[in-house]
Amino acid sequence: MNFEEQLNQSVSGKKTINKMINKNTELSTLIPNLYQCQTSVPKDFLKLLAGGTVPINYPFSFSFTSLDCNLLLYTLTGSCKLTSKQFTGTIGKQNGLLLNCKDGFSLQTSVLPWKFKLFFIDGTDLASFNLLTPHSIKPFIVADHSSLQQYISKLSGIPSNYSGTDALLMHKTLTDLFCELYEHYLPATDPLTFTSIPPYLTELKNYLDYNYQANFLLSDFEETLKVNKYRLCREFSKAYGAPPLRYLKQRRIEVAKEMLLTTDYNIHEISSIVGYENTNHFINLFKKATGLTPNVFKQTVLEKQSALRSPAQ
């Protein structure tokens, strides 16, 4: 079965208003290109199966059952909500993620118009990358002129009917992109770290790092990890310098700071994306952590950066 047939069996979708979307319309809307190499490609090579740039101007929801590949999704404008077994969250402007599609997932428009790039990726090298971390979701921000933005631009320029030279460029670009994303999720190389931090603490930290916008209770992890919540709190604090809830607040503030400096989202949007529906509460927490309100923080940092770039007087 080729990948187009797998997609046809996997995908279902609907408009959230009006009538159901036609099956053929689903794929033509969501999958602009099906990639095919003019020559044979080594099985180890990472390669694009389908994807491209997609503009969406109406509300919809798409669901995919299990697919034996990974998905790279990057939002240009607007936003969507992605739901999978391991992650539920909003993917907004200049935000992206890398997802192992084995468990299925769904996409639903949040802010219209939503324009995004998506690529379904295959290759036996995927298995090696997927083994590096138990979490398949890798949320990330794509800053202007960053290496990640350059990688995505290179992938967008590869034709659907590509040559052997394109296949080599594709493999190199995907390998560089995967290496840059995965290096942030590898455990520390200090041998003491491996012996002193048990796996259940690493799993809890990874969850907080990747699902910072979610609300949870420590009792949820007590059941999942089979470890008493008071012990979790005590050991997590010893390993990472703060108990889980405080660590989560710190993680949210760090993500908010990055978004303030690399995206055009307003304060209310950033507050919602990092997990705070009450914007005033978010502003108070941000000021307590940094000494500045979000707007003043952004203005101060950007002015400093501008001064550093300006020629000496």
pLDDT at 52: 94
| pLDDT per position as a tens digit, 44-79 | 899 999 999 999 998 888 899 999 999 999 999 999
Asked whether the CA dihedral 159, 160, 165, 169 is positive or negative, the reply is positive
Cis peptide bond N-terminal to 113, omega within 30 = yes
Concatenated DSSP letters for 214-267? S---HHHHHHHHTS-HHHHHHHHHHHHSS-HHHHHHHHHHHHHHHHHHH----H
User: Is the pLDDT at 225 greater than 60, yes or no?
Assistant: yes
Name the pTM for this structure: 0.64
pLDDT at 313: 44
User: Is the pLDDT at 15 greater than 60, yes or no?
Assistant: no
User: Is the pLDDT at 280 greater than 70, yes or no?
Assistant: yes
User: Is the pLDDT at 108 greater than 80, yes or no?
Assistant: yes
